[in-house]
């Protein structure tokens, strides 16, 4: 899977996903792009954008982008928080579909 790490994601996260092709926004030279142009550029090369930007899905029409966006819900942009969620991120990557938005950790349905 081809994964792009958003500029707000700790670049050490790349270590958590051996076997995947992973680049950062910085490595792609896209640091200065606004979200719209970034997504337009990314969808032709990558399958997934991994971000901690909780507002992205409300500011962009991600269904039209053709890229799966995984929003990691962590309290701080520190590597340890990504490590704690690595298994869950791997699990959602296995089911990622273009045009979808997936939150990690996933909200659990209420117990009935």
Residue 33 belongs to some domain of the structure: yes
Count of CA atoms in the C-beta half-sphere (13 A) of 69: 26
For the stretch 31-63, pLDDT in tens is 999 988 999 899 999 999 999 998 887 777 667
For the stretch 61-72, pLDDT in tens is 667 778 899 999
Q: What percentage of the chain has pLDDT greater than the value 70?
A: 91
Residue 111 belongs to some domain of the structure: no
Structural domain tally of the chain?
1
The pLDDT value recorded for residue 110 is 42
Helix (H, G, I), strand (E, B) or coil at 98: coil
| Residue 13 lies in domain | 2-104
- Angle at alpha carbon of residue 52, lines to 38 and 78, rounded to 5°: 125
């Amino acid at each position: 899977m081809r994964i792009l790490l958003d500029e707000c994601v700790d670049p050490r996260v790349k270590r958590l996903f051996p076997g995947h092709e992973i680049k950062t926004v910085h490595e792609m030279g896209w640091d200065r792009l606004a979200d719209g142009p970034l997504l337009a550029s990314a969808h032709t090369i990558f399958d997934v954008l991994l971000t901690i930007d909780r507002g992205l899905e409300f500011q962009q029409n991600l269904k039209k982008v053709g890229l799966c966006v995984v929003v990691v819900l962590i309290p701080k942009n520190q590597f340890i928080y990504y490590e704690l969620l690595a298994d869950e991120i791997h699990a959602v990557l296995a089911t990622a579909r273009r045009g979808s938005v997936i939150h990690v950790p996933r909200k659990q349905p209420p117990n009935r």
